[in-house]
Amino acid sequence: MKIITQTITISELKQMAASLFGNMVKAVVDVDRELVAVDAELHSDLEALLLENGSKQKNLWGINFYPEMSGDNFVEFDSMINMRPSQNNRSRGVENEAMRKKIIEIAVKRVKR
């Protein structure tokens, strides 16, 4: 597990994917601090790593990277940590369109293509 504060390459994501899930890398985005934690079996492990490093839970959203894909298929919004009725998010996705856009902006900023 690691926190991306600068950038990561697609090659690095592909290596991470190959070591765990084959075609996917789990990630958690801190929308306030614009950080991305990657490379764990569970989104909750990445969430814990960010919390230990000063993030606030309300700012953390789980995504999946598909490094072999491009466009809309590169990022998937599907994580148990996203289920937050207190923030009006009742699914594993991210229901707020503005928040999805912000998450994608941060994810794209951190992944060097």
- Return per-residue pLDDT of the chain as tens, 113 residues: 999 999 999 999 999 999 999 999 999 999 999 999 999 999 999 999 999 999 999 999 999 999 999 988 999 999 999 999 999 999 999 999 999 999 999 999 999 87
In the chain, the number of structural domains is 1
Instruction: Say what the pTM is.
Output: 0.96
Q: What pLDDT is attached to residue 45?
A: 98
What is the phi-psi region of residue 91: left when phi exceeds 0, alpha when psi lies from -120 to 50, beta otherwise? beta
Lookup: tokens for 51: 């919390």
Task: Give the CA distances from residue 7 to residues 18, 58, 89, 104, in Å, rounded to whole numbers and listed in that order.
Answer: 19, 23, 29, 14
**Amino acid at position 71, single letter:** G
Q: What pLDDT is attached to residue 82?
A: 98
Q: What pLDDT is attached to residue 113?
A: 77
Q: What pLDDT is attached to residue 52?
A: 98
Q: What pLDDT is attached to residue 78?
A: 97
Range of the domain at 56: 2-112
